[in-house]
Amino acid sequence: MFQSPAILKHPATRWAVIALIGLVLLVLPFAVDAVLGRAWVRIIDVALLFIMLALGLNVVVGFAGLLDLGYIAFFAVGAYCYALLASPQFDIHWSFLVLLPLGAFVAAIFGILLGAPTLRLRGDYLAIVTLGFGEMIRIFLNNLNRPINITNGPQGITLIDPLQLGGIALSKTYTVGDITIAAVHSYYFVFLVCALLSIFISLRLEDSRIGRAWIAIREDELAATAMGINARNIKLLAFAMGATFGGLSGALFSAFQGFVSPESFTLLDSIMVLCMVVLGGMGNVGGVVLGAILLTALPEALRYAAPLQQQWLGAVYVDPSDLRMLLFGLALVLMMLFRPAGLWPSTTRRRELAVEDEIVAEETPSAAR
């Protein structure tokens, strides 16, 4: 399943497929706008942000095997770093060319601060600590409005500067010939470049010496340490690298929304990003991208359930939000039963599960006897 056809191994065919995919990505926002409406272009923009978030969490959970339930905190750090320095809050309006790398860097520092005291923790204990870290960041942001107003508390920060290239602000609508380029179209191309860059970095990390060290620690930390891998530094690097992805996507989110508040960074958001990684295929970059797209688009598609119920049944019997959570939970249960490695599992993970099934099959008859 999801294996590359033999024809794609030919260089000319591969480049033709890449060119076709590039063309589709270029016209995608305008085609979606014409067929489904501009709201769906905005959903695609959000999906690209979640792809970057999920890829960052995949470094921590998928590659290094470190369960992080507070990952949304790095998203918040990047978002507020951009918001504070590009809004009337401090009356500072720095260029996004400075703020985007700064948001990623500050989030990486927070990733190291989280990783340093948790190096000896594993499994459930690590999950509890990271969950507490995520909630601590959200509570701090919610209460840093007195005695000195830094984050404006629960009211959030408004009038955040949009991304601006020269004299062109991406938040405005422009007309080029017969083509109307709205803000959601402009942000789409920026987010697409960042998402593709994140995918490229993730693929390179997976095949690098550092990526193999992460995977070794995930499989057996004691054996990896015995082979000479510095588990301490490798774990800290995983937290820092994953946080970098989160900080960058948070800064882009802040510029895109023009408003941030602590309510955008709850535990449910962390769980949602984790589900994207698990549903798509933990440790597999393509699977993570697939999971992020599905869990961003499907909840929005279920909003049409209310009009359909009204049309077919004459009344709305199941609220779309309740139906969304019901189907979401059901999908996770079915995934754990029938495809525990995800929709698009990594080759290593699929092989591990096959070996585990063989061991269970061999041990079951002897246990019964």
Range of the domain at 147: 36-294
> pLDDT value at position 322?
75
Average pLDDT over residues 339-359: 72
CA–CA separation, 269 and 283 (whole Å): 20
What is the gyration radius of the CA atoms in the chain, in angstroms?
Answer: 22
Contact (CB, 8 A) for 302 and 324: yes
pLDDT above 70 (res 350): no
The 10s digit of each residue's pLDDT in 318-331 is: 777 777 778 778 88
Q: What is the pLDDT of residues 276-312, one digit of tens each?
A: 999 998 889 999 999 999 999 888 887 777 777 777 8
Q: Is residue 281 part of a domain?
A: yes
pLDDT band at 358 (very low <50, low <70, confident <90, very high): low
Distance in angstroms (rounded) separating the CA atoms of residues 17 and 13: 6
Does a structural domain hold residue 65?
A: yes
Per the domain annotation, does 200 fall within a domain? Answer: yes
Q: What span, in angstroms and rounded, lies between the C-alpha atoms of 145 and 159?
A: 17
Is residue 124 scored above 70 in pLDDT? yes
Q: Is the pLDDT of residue 209 over 60?
A: yes
What does each C-alpha distance from 346 to 182, 281, 310, 350 come to in angstroms? 38, 7, 42, 6
pLDDT at 4 over 60: no
Span 68-86, pLDDT tens digits: 999 999 999 999 999 999 9
Instruction: Write the CA distances from 25 to 176, 192, 283, 290, integer angstroms.
Output: 19, 8, 25, 15
Q: Are 304 and 294 in contact (CB under 8 A)?
A: no
Which pLDDT does position 360 carry in this prediction? 62
State how far Cα 286 lies from the chain centre. 13
pLDDT of 247: 96
Specify if 9 maps to a domain.
no
The CATH number assigned to the domain holding 157 equals 1.10.3470
Neighbours of 121 (CB within 10 A): 15
Residue 179 lies in a domain: yes
pLDDT, one tens digit per residue, over 94-116 is: 999 999 999 999 999 999 998 88
320 occurs within a structural domain: no
Q: Is residue 340 part of a domain?
A: no
Query: What's the pLDDT at 342?
Result: 84
Identify whether 249 is part of a domain.
Answer: yes
pLDDT for 136-183, tens place per residue? 999 999 999 888 999 999 999 999 999 988 778 888 888 887 788 999
pLDDT for 2 equals 45
How far is the first Cα of the chain from the last one, in angstroms, to the nearest whole number?
37
Calculate what percentage of the chain has a pLDDT beyond 70. 91
Nearest to 84 by CA among 170, 146, 149, 133: 149
- Least confident piece of the model among 30-44, 115-129, 213-227: 115-129
The token duo for 294 is: 């599905």
Residue 89 has pLDDT above 70, yes or no: yes
How confident is the model over 326-346, as pLDDT tens digits? 877 888 888 888 888 888 887
Band of pLDDT at residue 1, cut at 50, 70 and 90: very low
User: In this predicted model, what pLDDT tens digit does every residue of 231-248 receive, in sequence order?
Assistant: 999 999 999 999 999 999
